[in-house]
Structure 1
Amino acid sequence: MPRTKKRSSNKGGQHGHVQPFSDEDASIETLSHCSSLSDVVSVADEGAEVSEDTAQEDFQYKLKGFIDSTVDKSAKTRQSALDGLKTAMANRILYEFISERRMTITDSIERCLKKGKGDEQRAAASLACLLCIQLGSGIESEEVLKTLKPIFKNILADTSAHIQARQAVATSLGLCTLVAEDDILDVFSTMECFENLFARSYAKGDGTFPSVNPQMSQLHTNALLSWALLLTICSGSQLKEVLRKHVHKLPGLLESDDVNMRIAAGETIALLFELARDMDADFEIDNYNDLCDKLSALATDCNKHRAKTDKRKQRSVFRDVLKAVEDGDFQSETIRFGTERMTIDSWVRKRTYDAFREFVGSGMNYHLQANEFIRDVFELGPPILVDSETMKAMKISRFERHLHNSAAFKARTKARSKFRDKRVDVGEF
């Protein structure tokens, strides 16, 4: 990316339009395997080093312009700035740059969530999640969530709020909570917010189902998926309570007219069975045969009123869900990134992987290689692209922060998982 010969003295926030973040900008990541660890880069050719420094300076200059423009008077400019920051965070590791500007970015997200409309709120909610992914599990992301969680919950509960904003918040709050929430009781409280939404698609007392329009059904689906994500970090006692309340009602969602809701419900049921059987291998539910019949019908669905693409997608998912419920099997998948590979070998890991991939998109493989937090989540160890000399050359204060965040995540995971190391009697449901 060539350096401009002359820069305007005006900041990005004073321009009427912000250039969108392009693939060319994102491709700067190829200049360094791990940009967050590239303060000292060993380059044999001095000219190449100068060129890289120039590109990095231009890249950061553009990011600063985006940050400034998140407070522009123009809603279009603000949204463009939010989208630019989202693309950058999805495609690169920007820990130090973001850490130094965390409060400013958080304030901008808060302002856009409160004062923006529709698409702007949706972009701000997604940016909040990417901010937490960049910061990792530690005090910095906890402060971000502490600021934004009340706003997220207000939007979720506000029936007059824009439906797209509520949909985005339902997804973002789930992953932000997974990354940054430091109290498992608060996790459970957030799960109850999601329950209050998707439970509105449950069958009524007389056995009939409520009429839910497609936009509202998508909100309920997003809430269900975030709820399922947080199930993966619940304690045994909390999981037992979840099973008592929901294991008989969730199968009703399999009859939804919305293919996305049917699939989300099926995958959540498979996840619940996996978690319950981790605690009690003999876990059973009433009406087990009826559930298997429903899953089998969806795995071989020939309903002429449904689109072919929906039926094809649904059949593939429900074949796997049926195997999970009947036999406890999981169709494993191998993810390759760089010289490494990772196996998705459980519904817990699948739900977690899908949640991160939804935000970083095509940058997922890069984050698996270079993002220390995401590598901790999937137990991949330190980034192998960082050589010992680079590690030694890192700023010790920043390195210590990384270690602290890593230790915080591991300690939190251990505390959440301790109940699963022992068999817990979940009884019959």
Structure 2
Amino acid sequence: MPRSKRKGGRGKPGGQHSVVQPFSDEDASIETLSHCSSLSDSTSTAEEGLSGETEDVAQEDFQYRLKAFIDSTVDKSAKTRQGALDGLKTAMATKILHEFILERRMTISDSIERCLKKGKGEEQCAAASLACLLCIQLGSGIESEEVFKTLKPIFKTILADGAANIQARQACATSLGLCTLVAEDDILDVYATMECFESLFTRSYIRDDGSRPTVNPQTTQLHTNALLSWALLLTICSASQIKTILHKHLPRLPRLLESDDVNLRIAAGETIALLFELARDIDPEFDFDNWEPLCDKLNALATDCNKHRAKTDKRKQRSVFRDVLKAVEEGEFQNETIRFGTERMVIDSWVRKRTYDAFREFVGAGMNYHLQANEFIRDVFELGPPILIDSTALKAMKSSRLERHLYNAAAFKARTKARSKFRDKRVDVGEF
């Protein structure tokens, strides 16, 4: 990362006619729980009474399946390649595989490159996502830099190719942003990548004469992904670069708030809030010339009652823009607490929120596990080294299911009694 560089069951391998099945959610859960018994996730494995020998067999079986997936990424069958990519994605999202991947990173990188160049649609999307997960597993250092140097030109080529599959372009827009955050070693190259994103999302700007560009929904999603990746890279820009960006883009970004697409409006609103936060970090007295018109526009979106918009879109939009309005008007952020194992992390800024959301998009339900055990992600969020938990002490800290049930039942009974008394009092007042 440019800011502070840090170095850092059994099945047959898929053949031409075989189909490698991706891990299911259940498989992912089992594999996650079988890894690293010193961490809190392993307590559930211990509770199931698995012996150390059984764990070794499961681990060996798991690695055998991973090797089969890697071999199958070069299969002639597109369906087999797709299954292999999905299997590797699920494994990397739910398990820490640094040592295993380190020995095979170039093989995996070559497979990703081949699938991006020769694959179509879904296969390219899966390969782009796998590239991000590979960088997340390797962390910020020489290994991920080597992988990214190979894949970056391919990402940019697909991104700029108007004739390429639109879903593949969308996936590359998202993956290029996070891979740049993790593995780019030159801040000037970060700025160059941001310019690639700018060339996309600025096409959705309302024109100076008030006319709107004609953009189909799929292309609008591409512009949304590009804007979010651009905002992610804002979080590692220098103060001088942020000043340049503020001058160039802050007066124009509010034009995206008039888009017909709710996701693009929300992405624009959150990016504006992020820019205001970064600007005030540099200069607490930061002043924006069009501050009042911007606040009026944000307030209108926070209280939007247009009948032609879907209720779910309006509800989602109002919630986000209430927070954006507070950020622009008062410099406030609505804190969110993330709990994982015995730890907790507070999302207390737009910078941290954008970074957290970017990682969570790729690891999904495995985010809490990575926050516990992935040294790179813990370093990004300044959580320190992974905490080793004694399984006996952790078990003592956890209440049993029966205890929780009894507590909840008692609390429910107490609430019912209190509400009954309150209702009785209201009845008495009415009769009086």
TM-score by length of 2: 0.84
C-alpha deviation, 1:293, in angstroms: 0.2
Q: 1:139 aligns with which of 139, 142, 162?
A: 142
What CA distance in whole angstroms lies between the structure 2 residues aligned with 1:35 and 1:371? 14
Residue of structure 1 in register with 2:276 after alignment:
273
Structure 2: segments with no counterpart, 5+ residues: 1-8, 391-432
Which of 313, 318, 322 is 1:315 aligned to?
318
User: In the alignment, residue 51 of structure 2 is paired with which amino acid?
Assistant: A
Q: Is the 8 A contact 1:34 1:93 kept in 2?
A: no
Q: Does 1:325 align with 2:328?
A: yes
Question: Which letter maps to 1:183?
Answer: D
Q: Is the 8 A contact 2:17 2:77 kept in 1?
A: no
Indicate if the aligned counterparts of 2:206 and 2:258 stay in contact, CA closer than 8 A.
no
C-alpha deviation, 1:163, in angstroms: 0.1
- Find the partner of 2:100 among 97, 100, 124: 97
1:378 to 362, 378, 381: 381
Is the Cα contact below 8 Å between 2:38 and 2:388 reproduced in 1?
A: no
CA 1:113–1:34 in 2, change beyond 3 Å: closer, same or farther? farther
Residue 52 of structure 1 corresponds to 55
Distance in 2, matches of 1:354 and 1:242, equals: 22
Per-residue Cα deviation, 1:374-417 (whole angstroms, up to 9, x for no partner): 00000000000278xxxxxxxxxxxxxxxxxxxxxxxxxxxxxx
Q: Does 1:194 align with 2:204?
A: no
TM-score norm. by structure 1 comes to: 0.85
> How much has 1:365 moved relative to structure 2?
0.3
Q: CA deviation at 1:25?
A: 2.2
Find the aligned partners of 1:47 and 1:86 in 2 and give their Cα distance.
26
Residue 157 of structure 1 is matched in structure 2 by 160
Question: Is the 2:14–2:80 Cα contact (8 Å) retained in structure 1?
Answer: no
- The aligned counterpart of 2:178 is 175
Q: Which has the larger radius of gyration?
A: 2
Once the two structures are TM-superposed, the CA of residue 288 in structure 1 deviates from its matched residue by: 0.8
CA contact (8 A) 1:89 1:130 kept: yes
2:26 is aligned to: 24
Alignment CA distance shift 1:47-1:368 (3 Å)? closer
Q: Is 1:108 equivalent to 2:111 in the alignment?
A: yes
Distance in 1 (CA, whole Å) between partners of 2:187 and 2:15 is 39
Mapping of 1:354-369 within 5 angstroms? Answer: 354-369=357-372
Partner SS, residue 335 of structure 1: strand
Q: Tell whether 2:85 aligns with 1:72.
A: no
CA distance in 2, matches of 1:321, 1:23: 35
- Give the unaligned 5+ runs of structure 1: 388-429
Deviation of 1:35 after TM superposition, in Å, equals 9.0
- The Cα of 1:28 is off from its aligned counterpart by 1.8
In the TM superposition, structure 1's runs of 4+ consecutive aligned residues that sit over 6 Å from their partners are none
Secondary structure in structure 2 of the residue aligned to 1:334: strand
Shift of 1:47: 7.9
1:232 aligns with 2:224: no
Partner SS state of residue 12, structure 1: coil
* In 1: Cα distance, 2:292 partner to 2:25 partner: 51
Structure 2 counterparts to residues 224-263 of structure 1, below 5 A: 224-263=227-266
Q: Do the aligned residues in 2 keep the contact of 1:254 with 1:265 (CA within 8 Å)?
A: yes
Query: In structure 2, do the counterparts of structure 1 residues 35 and 211 end up closer, same or farther at CA, with 3 Å as the change threshold?
Result: farther
Distance 1:330 1:381 in 2: 24
Distance change >3 Å, CA 111–CA 34, structure 1 → 2: farther
Structure 2 distance, partners of 1:267, 1:32, is 37
Identity of aligned residues (%): 79
The CA RMSD measured in Å over matched residues stands at: 2.1
Q: How far apart are the structure 2 equivalents of 1:47 and 1:325?
A: 54
C-alpha offsets along residues 118-161 of structure 1, whole Å, 9 cap, x if unaligned? 11000000000000000000001001110000000000000000
